[in-house]
Structure 1
Amino acid sequence: MIRAFSVANEFNEEVRNYAKMVGVRKYTKGFRPVESTQWNSLSLIKYTYNTETNKIDFDLIE
């Protein structure tokens, strides 16, 4: 299964809501009979620079 990620310094509430709304795809798989299913593997990832470790930290936005 495909997973999608969007990485940014910050996501405002409008973007979070929009991602939940449009980040869903419906499709069919198989044949005779086909099975309807839904994909919703879009994750929003926020990054911050950690000055103590000199590394970038990544956090999953729920």
Structure 2
Amino acid sequence: MKIFAEKLAEFKQKSIGELDKKTEELLEFKEIVDTMSELSKKIHLLPGLQKALILNIE
């Protein structure tokens, strides 16, 4: 029974560590998406910039 409890505790600790890592990745991803959203709003506010970006893409 002691071995089971030790392995369960080890599994819980490993799982919590993995969840923490995923949470950090999600926060970083959210920051990137928020920045992209803000840039998109600025581009739509500046029609000349929007046309310039479209011409550079094509």
- Fold shared by both chains (TM-score > 0.5): no
TM-score by length of 1: 0.28
Q: Which has the higher helix share?
A: 2
TM-score by length of 2: 0.29
